[in-house]
């Protein structure tokens, strides 16, 4: 029942970018990615597992990221560390350009008023 209204749709087309960008500086596993995004956006984006994992699977299926299972080093179930592939890095740059262009195009609507 999507309580968000606007924010849910704003995440669309941005989520993949956020995930790819999170892996830019080294592999991370699922729940850490959520934390990473939360940290870097000052808590603005706080999606749940049901949003994250399907997205990760999509990216993996597209060959943009690749998973490697490692046992947890603090106890608990094993973790799937995702890292960017070469194609993934290219796609990340492409999406960053798209995001910049989008922000740029939107600027006239955001200044003043």
Partner DNA sequence: GCCATTACTTTGTGTCACTATGTAGTCATG
Partner DNA sequence: CATGACTACATAGTGACACAAAGTAATGGC
Binding site for DNA (CB under 7 A): 1-4, 7-9, 11-13, 15-16, 29-31, 47-58, 71-72, 74-81
* Residue 24 DSSP label: T
Does residue 44 bind a copy of itself (CB under 8 A)?
yes
Does residue 12 bind a copy of itself (CB under 8 A)?
yes
Q: Name residue, tokens 């706080």.
A: 46
Per-residue b or e along 38-67, where b marks 16 or more CB atoms closer than 10 Å to that residue's CB:
eeeeeeebebeeeebeebbeebbeeebbbb
Q: Which helix (H) or strand (E) holds 98?
A: helix 86-110
Q: Name residue, tokens 């999406």.
A: 95
The CB-of-24 to DNA minimum distance in angstroms stands at 18
Q: How far apart are CA 66 and CA 63, in angstroms?
A: 7
The CB-of-100 to a copy of itself minimum distance in angstroms stands at 6
Does residue 18 bind a copy of itself (CB under 8 A)?
yes
Q: Which does 17 bind (CB under 5 to 8 A by kind): a copy of itself, DNA, none?
A: a copy of itself
Does residue 23 bind a copy of itself (CB under 8 A)?
no
Where along the sequence are the contacts to a copy of itself (CB under 8 A)?
6-14, 16-18, 21, 24, 40-42, 44-45, 94-96, 98-106, 108-110, 113
């Amino acid at each position: 029942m999507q309580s968000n209204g606007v924010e849910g749709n704003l995440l669309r087309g941005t989520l993949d970018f956020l995930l790819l960008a999170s892996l830019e500086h080294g592999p991370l596993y699922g729940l850490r990615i959520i934390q990473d995004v939360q940290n870097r956006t000052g808590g603005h984006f706080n999606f749940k597992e049901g949003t994250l994992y399907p997205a990760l699977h999509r990216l993996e299926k597209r060959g943009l990221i690749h998973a490697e299972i490692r046992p947890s080093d603090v106890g608990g179930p094993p973790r799937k560390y995702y890292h960017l592939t070469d194609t993934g890095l290219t796609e990340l740059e492409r999406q960053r350009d798209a995001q910049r262009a989008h922000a740029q195009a939107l600027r006239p609507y955001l200044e003043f008023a």
